[in-house]
């Protein structure tokens, strides 16, 4: 028996050792697997909320972007709807607010409205209350923020009133302005009622006063908009101030790279990469406000330099959300310092995008200067945010809003349809001509096909806004027999040389007129489309073709 035990014990011990080794190997392998996943996993950008958006930015051929004439969703499209004003209090005028005002008026002695039914006293507070209630019922998609006291219209029973508002579908706290003319009547109990409401901007007597230009007389045949500005817009450039303030700052400066003159989507993807790195490094970003507009958006089909960032995007909001300085002002302060001071500004020059933001985190020099002199594709800004840096750099999409001036046009178009309209997005252009990638698109968006496919989706004789890249205005005439059709070109006066947009962009452009270009058109079209009650899309409703070509669905 003793010999048997001597033989079996080593076997048991070896078996236990073998099991222990196997378990330890499994544990080590699991740890290695999890470590590799943790290192290689790149969390998606918070802005990318769908597979379609991810595809736009990850399927990059030869490290560049495909030509895409669509407009990116920006901060005001993707944020949570604001419930409170920036000051933290609810400022919307609701039925409860109106009722409280009515209760306060009961303690005030006012003449009865029936004493003289031939005229309306527009200064009577009850007239404003009547109009406020009418607007709440008529425009349920709007939040009304404040009203100006009504003034007399052009007839005895007419009152003009102006107010500021925001659209509930817009996820920013930007304010817009409307002024309308109302015809006021009486109910049986002598209280006021609105018998007719004018259209968008019809209350001319309530519009804000225009400032007359100080220039001398011009050719009367040349109509130029008066010098009036939207008081909600502040496009002024941030100034550093004293030399000491400049020296004590910390800056991230990107030289112009291969993204210049590429599509706007690539420009923004790269710009927000740079801005994200500046925020990660806790530095002020030196921003070049000059944009080269890609030929895909220009009338002459050629790249056009010298476009101002502020034509397309909200610079005031960007200044509030990110620390930035204008490149031109930055160069002036830099040159001034080097001329007047013995000690030069310390600069770290980075010539390769492969130098990561993490490696620059502890750099104490005043300026980190990234230079993109390599050949394409190594001179694209967004390459900085690839690889391991993607886990550290968050693109600040919330800082990017569309231009308030363009949004004023969007608001005017939507308001002209009383905020009660449907829309269809019809993509044609080059895609309709490319039968290899989109074999059915041309036929599926033909006039006869559109009539057939839209009738089940949109109620007849509704306002129908058509957002499209189809260049022929009369292409949609057959739809006019079924709907009240609206196209962007129906609103040319909103950017013509008598418009506020024309005047304000001309001031930004050093007195030179600004062309309402292709990217502006798509921005406006897209935002009007977002505000429609019913929305019909080309690649989801009108055609079975894939958005990115055959076999990509």
Q: At what angle do helices 500-508 and 404-416 cross, to 10 degrees?
A: 170
Residues 385 and 413 placed together within one structural domain of the fold:
no
> Are residues 468 and 534 both part of a single domain?
yes
> Per-residue pLDDT for 485 more than 60?
yes
Residue 477 within any structural domain of the chain: yes
Q: What's the domain range around 488?
A: 404-542
What is the per-residue pLDDT for 55?
42
Instruction: Specify whether 260 is located in the same domain as 391.
Output: yes
What's the CATH number where 314 sits? 3.40.50
pLDDT at 1 over 80: no
DSSP 3-state of 151? strand
CATH number of the CATH domain containing 141: 3.10.450
The answer, yes or no, to whether residue 326 has pLDDT greater than 50, is: yes
Verify that 533 and 416 share a domain, yes or no: yes
pLDDT at position 105 is 76
**Residues 391, 427: one domain?**
no
Angle between helical axes of 125-138 and 95-105 (0-180°, round to 10): 160
> What DSSP string runs through 318-387?
HHHHS-EEEHHHHHHHHHHHHHH-SSPPPEEEE--TTS-HHHHTT--SSEEEE---SPTTTT-GGGGGSG
Q: What is the rounded average pLDDT of the residues 443-447?
A: 97
pLDDT of residue 170: 84
Strand order in the sheet with 284-287: 324-326, 284-287, 251-254, 367-370, 347-350
Judged against a pLDDT cut of 60, whether residue 36 lies above it is answered with: no
Residue 2 placed within a domain: no
- CB-CB contact of 418 with 412 (8 Å): no
Query: Does 257 share its domain with 378?
Result: yes
Q: What is the pLDDT of residue 236?
A: 85
Q: Based on the fold, state whether residues 379 and 286 are members of the same structural domain.
A: yes
Give me the pLDDT at residue 74, please.
83
- What mean pLDDT is reported for the chain? 84
Question: Minimum mean pLDDT among 21-35, 52-66, 71-85, 198-212: which range?
Answer: 52-66
> Of 225, 213, 220, 218, nearest to 496 (Cα)?
225
Tell me if 374 is assigned to some domain: yes
Instruction: Judge if 294 and 334 occupy the same domain.
Output: yes
Does 25 score more than 80 pLDDT? Answer: no
Verify that 346 and 387 share a domain, yes or no. yes
284 found inside a domain:
yes
- Indicate the range of 117-121, 161-165, 296-300, 541-545 predicted with least confidence: 117-121
**pLDDT on residue 237:** 85
Q: Which residue has the tokens 């500005």?
A: 229
pLDDT, one tens digit per residue, over 178-198 is: 999 999 999 888 889 999 999
Do both 409 and 391 map to the same domain?
Answer: no
Whether 430 and 480 map to the same domain: the answer is yes
Q: What is the pLDDT of residues 253-268, one digit of tens each?
A: 999 999 999 999 999 9
> Which domain-ending residue is among 399, 428, 453?
399
Across the range 293-318, mean pLDDT stands at 94
Q: Write out pLDDT tens, residues 267-279.
A: 999 999 999 999 9
Residue 33 backbone phi and psi in degrees, to 5: -60, -45
Domain assignment present for 152:
yes
Residue 508 lies in a domain: yes
Between 338 and 425, name the one with better pLDDT. Answer: 425
| Domain count across the chain | 3
Flag whether 350 is in a domain.
Answer: yes
Looking at the structure, tell me whether residues 121 and 151 fall in a common domain: yes
| Residue 123 counted as domain residue | yes
């Amino acid at each position: 028996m003793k010999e048997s035990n001597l033989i079996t014990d080593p076997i048991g011990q070896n078996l236990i050792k073998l099991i222990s080794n196997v378990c330890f190997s499994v544990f080590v392998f699991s740890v290695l697997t999890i470590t590799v996943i943790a290192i290689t996993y790149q969390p998606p950008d918070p802005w990318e909320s769908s597979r379609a958006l991810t595809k736009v930015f990850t399927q990059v051929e030869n490290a560049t972007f495909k030509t895409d004439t669509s407009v990116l969703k920006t901060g005001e499209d993707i944020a949570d709807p604001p419930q409170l004003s920036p000051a933290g209090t609810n400022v919307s005028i609701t039925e409860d607010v109106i009722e409280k005002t009515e209760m306060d008026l009961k303690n005030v002695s006012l003449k009865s409205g029936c004493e003289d039914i031939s005229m309306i006293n527009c200064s009577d507070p009850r007239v404003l209350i009547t109009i406020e209630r009418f607007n709440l019922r008529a425009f349920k998609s709007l939040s009304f923020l404040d009203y100006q006291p009504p003034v007399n219209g052009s007839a005895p029973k007419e009152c003009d009133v102006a107010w500021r508002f925001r659209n509930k579908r817009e996820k920013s706290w930007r304010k817009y302005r409307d002024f309308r003319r109302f015809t006021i009547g009486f109910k049986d109990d002598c209280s006021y009622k609105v018998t007719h409401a004018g259209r968008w901007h019809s209350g001319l007597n309530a519009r804000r006063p225009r400032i007359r230009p100080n220039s001398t007389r011009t050719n009367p045949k040349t109509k130029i908009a008066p010098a009036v500005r939207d008081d909600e817009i502040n496009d002024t450039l941030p100034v550093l101030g004293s030399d000491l303030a400049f020296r004590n700052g910390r800056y991230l400066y990107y030289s112009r790279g291969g993204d210049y003159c590429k599509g706007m989507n690539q420009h923004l993807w790269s710009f927000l990469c740079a801005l994200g790195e500046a925020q990660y490094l806790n530095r002020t970003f030196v921003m070049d406000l000059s944009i080269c507009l890609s030929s895909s958006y220009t009338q002459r089909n050629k790249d056009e330099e010298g476009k101002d960032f502020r034509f397309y995007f909200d610079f005031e909001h960007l200044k509030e959300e990110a620390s930035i300085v204008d490149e031109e002002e930055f160069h002036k302060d830099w040159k001034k310092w080097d001329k007047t001071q013995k000690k030069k500004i310390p600069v770290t020059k980075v010539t390769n995008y492969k130098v990561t933001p993490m490696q620059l985190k502890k750099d104490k020099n005043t300026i980190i200067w990234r230079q993109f002199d390599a050949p394409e594709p190594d001179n694209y800004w967004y390459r900085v945010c690839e690889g391991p840096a993607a886990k550290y750099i968050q693109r600040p999409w919330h800082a990017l809003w569309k231009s308030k001036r363009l949004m004023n046009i969007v608001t005017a178009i939507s308001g002209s349809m009383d905020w009660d309209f449907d829309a269809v997005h019809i993509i044609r252009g080059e895609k309709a001509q490319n039968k290899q990638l989109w074999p059915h698109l041309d036929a599926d968006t033909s006039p006869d096909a559109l009539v057939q496919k839209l009738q089940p989706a949109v109620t007849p004789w509704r306002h129908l806004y058509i957002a499209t890249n189809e260049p022929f205005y009369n292409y949609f005439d057959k739809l006019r027999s079924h709907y009240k059709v609206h196209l962007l070109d129906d609103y040319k006066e909103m950017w013509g040389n008598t418009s506020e947009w024309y005047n304000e962009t001309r001031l930004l452009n050093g007195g030179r007129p600004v062309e309402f270009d292709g990217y502006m058109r798509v921005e406006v079209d897209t935002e009007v489309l977002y505000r429609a009650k019913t929305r019909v899309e080309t690649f989801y409703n009108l055609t079975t073709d894939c958005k990115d070509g055959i076999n990509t669905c």
